[in-house]
Structure 1
Amino acid sequence: MKVSAIAKAAEVTPDTVRFYTREGLLSPHRNPDNNYQHYSTEDLRRLRFARKARQLGFSLPEIRSILMQADDHHSPCPMVRDVFEKRLTQVEREISELQLLRNRMKSALSAWQAMPDGTPDGHTICCLIEHWDDGDDSVLSTTAQEHH
């Protein structure tokens, strides 16, 4: 199969095929007559696997590791479960943080509707932000910790 054919069969773009080829997940052979890359059914299977793994949130290094274990005839399933459990915990924490942020944003927007627009006077930048206080500085402290 040529790039366009394998891309269509795997429901990805040709650029995705080229990317995974550059990353070493696919091993096409060069046709000596026209120098085109020719992909096998094994490449198609790996490409479909990589697409599904990405949809589940696995990173490229994780996918590479899974494929390497499978290539060595070792089951990657225990590692997949472990990575996935950790990732799910992380996603649930991020969803919780985003819900808190959403509530904070709604509260601020509601309070700001009744406030007049201010003009920077050398002492203020934006009075909406500077005068708003929900009493929760955890987002600021969390964000500050992440950047240090």
Structure 2
Amino acid sequence: RRKLKKKRHKEKLLSMGLMPRAAALEFTYQNHREEEDQDENKKRVAEFSEFLRRTAEIYVSDSSLHPDAHLSAVVEDLLTSILSGSKPPSVLKQLHDLQTLVELKKAESLEKSLTALNNSQILSAEESAAVVSLFRYWITDVLPLQRVETTRISTA
């Protein structure tokens, strides 16, 4: 009797909406770290692809250099493979680290990293040559111009 009375009391409370229904529990493991890594990789891909495209456009449009049409094609192929996810995350991390060194204006560290990238086998020879030439262009032509502009602004 007591069990039946208890059961009816529960049903009455449920029908009145005073007691919430039991929800199914999910015991599956959800790795939030993995989701954060994927979000971070998407952000890195977007930042690096934008940076590399801008650098390639500046490199090609610079009249003092002889623009190489092959370089643009190699850069686009590299970006396509990175965006599609066919390149491993370690490649993206290394390229993003190069971009960070450029943004921090650390030319010596960037030069060492470029030498390491050129000697490594992560990218094909064409891809690594294209990336190295773009970053070296950044070191030799763009960074000195930025230093001159900041000097002018600080003296004005």
TM-score, with length taken from structure 1: 0.28
The answer to which structure has the higher helix fraction is 2
Mark the structure with the bigger radius of gyration: 2
- TM (norm. structure 2) is 0.26
**Structure possessing the higher relative contact order (Cα contacts under 8 Å, 6 or more residues apart):** 2
